[in-house]
Amino acid sequence: MNTLNHLMDFIAHSPSPYHAVARAAALLDRAGFTRLEECETWNLQWGQGYYTTRNQSSLIAFRLPEHTVTGWRMTAAHSDFPTFYIKKDMLEGDKAYLRLSTEGYGGMICSSWMDRPLTVAGRIIVRSPSGVESRLVHLDQDLLTIPSLAIHQQRDINKGHEYNLQKDMQPLYALAGAPSLTALVAQSAEAAEEDILSTDLVLIPRQKPVVIGAAGEFFQAPRIDDLACAYATLEGFLNAHPCPHTGQIYCLFDNEEVGSGTRQGALSSFLPDVLARISYALGMDRQAERQALAGSMLLSADNGHAVHPNFTEKADPANKVYPNGGVVVKLSANQKYTTTGLTAGLFRAICQEAGVPVQVFANRADEAGGSTLGNLLSHAVSIPMVDIGMAQLAMHAAVETAGSRDPAYLSQACTAFFQHPFTITGDGCYQLSV
């Protein structure tokens, strides 16, 4: 249960993408990795570990081999999640109530956000004595709610409701006369209200991660998609032994839930820039750089849908996955997932050697699935990939549920992947030992 406990702590202290990256950076610092800034010169040493961040919401860490790079082992997860971004302190309406003005981010299950304690987290940009700086903010209090309309005023509510984000989903903050949100945020960040220049703040559920089930079979928390993979892949990365000739890379990208097409998203130049700077700093020529990419592989880690106990018909009857059934490998004939028969077979062989169970997910033939990080990342870095994750319930709800043993399975699978000495011997062929 160690991995699960550490994961739940990671989620609890990662209420925004900025906090998730800061938490990951702290774990890397503790493990002896050196922080690099993109705006500075990189002087790298063989056998050492480094990391850099972009926009404070994406992070790439890497561990160099001792002498040469003949390939890279990579994982990728994302730091963001469906939520509501705060646009303004006050929303016009009934003057007795104070509401925040929000805008939806990603595709959330709206009903799951209602009638529960919420608060605010993210970052603020403040004027400092030397210029401008950002500060992380997490108001650790039961602060807001989005109240439902009583059934007496909408008798047909249980027949279904189409939620309007502008009308139905604006959060109640206080009664008139209360201190403004800006005042609370300024106090939390030890800043003057007049020094706050702008904000990146989101709503978050107040529920803490918990273990549930008669035998503790499940855990429940906000942001399981995709912070569960973000942590488990990082733990696997940190636990892995260095490889003699293979570099190891951990990626955590922002903005997957809105298409990844940002400076800090998987479609950006972030990973290609890092790879190019590593190659340059190590004195690799273009041929060696491209040869190393050809010998690389990436695990795109984003969760899959477990069979729902009340809607079993929604699962593909030939590819059912369950909580605690092991790491999920995701397949898609229309290539929404990057997994091929070859990469799936290689990953399964590695997991078999490590004693990690694997299960296969595919969408029903009559239902389209969404794309993941790997599908988008392959536009920027063209290397073999396999889409993996954990089986979970209530994906994109304010609070989600997954199996309590699966985080450890994913961590163990990633450790085995990072440190396995497999090598490519030709197109379609891998040697599993040296």
Do 271 and 356 belong to one domain?
A: yes
Residue 217 lies in a domain: no
* Statement: residue 122 has pLDDT above 70: yes
Strand pairing category for 400-403 and 118-128: unpaired
Enumerate the β-bridge partners of residue 253.
78
Angle at 228 (CA atoms; ends 264, 300), nearest 5 degrees: 55
* Statement: residue 231 has pLDDT above 90: yes
Do 142 and 269 belong to one domain?
A: no
Do 417 and 347 belong to one domain?
A: yes
Helix (H, G, I), strand (E, B) or coil at 351: helix
Among 171, 205, 239, the domain-final residue is 205
Confidence class for position 433, pLDDT limits 50, 70, 90: confident
Yes or no: say if 121 and 81 are a contact pair by the CB < 8 Å rule. no
Confidence class for position 98, pLDDT limits 50, 70, 90: very high
Is the Cα torsion angle 265, 266, 271, 272 positive or negative in sign? negative
Do 408 and 387 belong to one domain?
A: yes
Tokens of 25: 């950076």
Q: From residue 211, how far is each of 5, 142, 228, 306, 332 by CA, in Å?
A: 9, 21, 14, 18, 32
Residue 214 lies in a domain: no
Helix (H, G, I), strand (E, B) or coil at 104: strand
d(CA 60, CA 380): 15
Do 394 and 410 belong to one domain?
A: yes
pLDDT value for 434: 52
d(CA 90, CA 282): 53
Do 348 and 377 belong to one domain?
A: yes
Do 153 and 13 belong to one domain?
A: no
Among 152, 179, 205, the domain-final residue is 205
pLDDT value for 263: 93
Between 428 and 109, the more confident residue is 109
Do 27 and 135 belong to one domain?
A: no
Residue 74 lies in a domain: yes
* Statement: residue 82 has pLDDT above 60: yes
Tokens of 200: 């990146």
Residue 216 lies in a domain: no
Residue whose pair of structure tokens reads 């279904």 in the numeric block: 160
* Statement: residue 129 has pLDDT above 80: yes
Q: What digits encode the pLDDT tens for the residues 160-217?
A: 899 999 999 999 999 998 999 999 999 999 999 999 999 999 999 999 999 999 999 9
Residue 67 lies in a domain: yes
* CATH number of the domain within which 156 lies: 2.30.250.10
What is the domain count for the chain? 2
Mean pLDDT across the stretch 107-133? 96
- Within 206-288, strands assigned E span 210-212, 218-221, 246-253
* CATH number of the domain within which 360 lies: 3.40.630.10
Q: What digits encode the pLDDT tens for the residues 240-254?
A: 999 888 999 999 999
Q: What digits encode the pLDDT tens for the residues 385-410?
A: 999 999 999 999 999 999 999 999 99
HSE (side-chain half, CA atoms, 13 Å) at 405: 13
Confidence class for position 28, pLDDT limits 50, 70, 90: very high
Angle at 135 (CA atoms; ends 32, 109), nearest 5 degrees: 95
pTM over 0.85: yes
Do 254 and 314 belong to one domain?
A: yes
If one counts every other C-beta atom within 10 angstroms of the C-beta of residue 46, the result is 11
* Range of lowest pLDDT (89-103, 141-155, 223-237, 382-396): 89-103
Among 152, 173, 205, the domain-final residue is 205
Tally of residues, the chain: 434
Q: Which domain holds residue 153?
A: 83-205
pLDDT value for 244: 85
Do 289 and 172 belong to one domain?
A: no
Do 404 and 259 belong to one domain?
A: yes
Do 96 and 136 belong to one domain?
A: yes
* Statement: residue 58 has pLDDT above 70: yes
d(CA 41, CA 341): 41
Residue 213 lies in a domain: no
Residue 379 lies in a domain: yes
* Range of lowest pLDDT (101-115, 248-262, 363-377, 413-427): 363-377
